[in-house]
Chains A and B, each alone.
Chain A
Amino acid sequence: DAKTTQPPSMDCAEGRAANLPCNHSTISGNEYVYWYRQIHSQGPQYIIHGLKNNETNEMASLIITEDRKSSTLILPHATLRDTAVYYCIVRVRAGGTSYGKLTFGQGTILTVHP
């Protein structure tokens, strides 16, 4: 799996957009980008994933650069409840009966301020 690099911490004002970067310069053509977050003392929560097109769901948007070497998770209107550790994971999507083997790094601690 491709290695990812994320800033250790970021701050954001409540109501503003939070843009969390992830570098994955060694990503392969069949590897997806997944984002999870973990609010303090809770289990991780799946947010979004994508291959090469930008993706949006009710939680966030994922922007992947054209060369796929980096991506940005966007929380359009951050709230205090978005304070969490955000993990960017690159992984080949399992096929057949294969399960998903996620490798979590240290992630980015996002702190949303009032």
Chain B
Amino acid sequence: ETGVTQTPRHLVMGMTNKKSLKCEQHLGHNAMYWYKQSAKKPLELMFVYSLEERVENNSVPSRFSPECPNSSHLFLHLHTLQPEDSALYLCASSQVPGGETQYFGPGTRLLVL
């Protein structure tokens, strides 16, 4: 049973829509991560929040906007996405230090039309 939940599990949106992905961790961790997994590609780290402060932003386009209101919640706000943004978006959490042991949510499967 995962201690990291993500909603929605599936999302279809048009290029002009605005939507948000939500992640919640119930593990008492203090770091949270957003990853993107496109078809046939390895996971790509997008954003990291450690101790509620954004510490990594891997050259992600500004149409993706993360928000971490507290150590248990993480959002990814989406606007004016492109079809190539269709992917599985995964949230993870960990304790820092020692953040290599990460616990992942089930992901949100996003389709941009």
Contacts and interface: CB of A to CB of B under 8 A. Distances in A.
Interface residues of B, number: 30
B96 A46 contact: no
A100 B105 contact: no
A114 interface: no
B26 to A, nearest CB: 15
A96 B43 contact: no
Given A41-B88, A105-B42, A106-B42, A99 B99 contact: yes
The secondary-structure label for the interface of chain A is loop
A3 interface: no
B51 to A, nearest CB: 6
Interface residues of A, number: 26
A41 B109 contact: yes
B74 interface: no
B98 A94 contact: yes
Interface string B89-109: 011101011111111111101
B97 A94 contact: yes
B13 interface: no
Contacts of B113: none
Contact of B90 (A34, A43, A98, A99): A43
Interface of B: 2, 4, 31, 33, 42-43, 45, 48, 50-51, 55-56, 88, 90-92, 94, 96-107, 109
11 contacts: A32-B100, A43-B90, A91-B100, A94-B97, A97-B50, A97-B51, A99-B31, A100-B96, A101-B48, A101-B99, A107-B42
Interface of A: 32, 34, 41-46, 49, 89, 91, 93-107
